[in-house]
Amino acid sequence: MVIALLHFEIHVHSVRSLSMFLLKTWRESAFGVYGYLNFTKSAFMEHSKKFNPEDTKARMDGKNCVVTGANSGIGYATAEGLASRGATVYMETKRSIWSFVIFHLSVKSSLSHPGFLQGMCQFMFWLTMLVCLRINKVTTSEGFEQNFAVNVLGTYSMTESMLPLLKNAAPDARVITVSSGGMYTAPLTTDLQFSEGKFNGVEQYARNKRVQVALTENWAEMYKDKGISFYTMHPGWAETPGVANSLPDFSKSLSGKLRTSEQGADTVIWLALQPKEKLTSGAFYFDRAETPKHLMFSGTRGSHSLINNIIEDLRSMSRL
């Protein structure tokens, strides 16, 4: 009886492992096909035929936008696009992610600076573009896995810290988080720092981006009556310094087919400019349209039920 039970348990474990392998393979294959058909430069050009040019002609004079990760690539293109429409853009750079130092054009000022706070109280958009994709596991001085520290804990801590200002900027305050289509390959997991199994930087990045989407859903529900809206978006596959450095093989294989930084930033700027009644708080956007958060038969939808447990862990880690 004991031997039979042991054989049964081994059989169940084998079936479960095979099922997980097949599901993971399906997710990655479906994402690869879906991405190639939709995320490239040629796909952007095709999708843009349906864009309304008037949507991005609005002015943002008198409005304040904080853009994180604005050193280069999509973050820089976003900051430039918003500033060209009259917005006052506070550009937060990589070096200041943990210290929360904000750069106003070329002038450094702290979030605690009274002038900064007073300037942000009337209109405010918060655009989080924190991106970290390290293939090898690296631990920060605080003891956090670095991909998680920047993409998840950084996004959570900074957004939570900005909420008092966003409340003052209601009813047009909004938070736009740049996620990634890579999240289609990953369900939510409470293993936030990839402590279980062999570390995989690309998979960890996908997990991080799934967390961002689930966090946005949660914030949207919590603040639906507070005049703050929350959105996530996917920029497509863009040719940026970050992609070239983190995924050189991917960058080379799609050379000439990747989007420009400006094309990647297009939907971010579009989300910042649209009247809120045209948008859905908590939704995921791609190429100026609301898009599904889950691919068919991927088994990721149910995992979003874990978000409350994840938020408890993030609150503890960030000491908020």
Peptide bond into 187 cis (omega under 30): no
> How far out from the chain centre does Cα 77 lie?
16
**Secondary structure letter of residue 190 according to DSSP:** S
Q: How many CB atoms lie within 10 A of CB 74?
A: 28
Beta strands in the chain (DSSP E): 64-68, 88-92, 101-104, 107-110, 124-128, 173-178, 228-234, 284-286, 289-290
Active site residues: 205
CB 189 within 8 A of CB 207: yes
* Tokens encoding 263: 């094309």
Contacts 24+ apart (CB under 8 A), 275-278: 276/171, 276/172, 276/174, 276/229
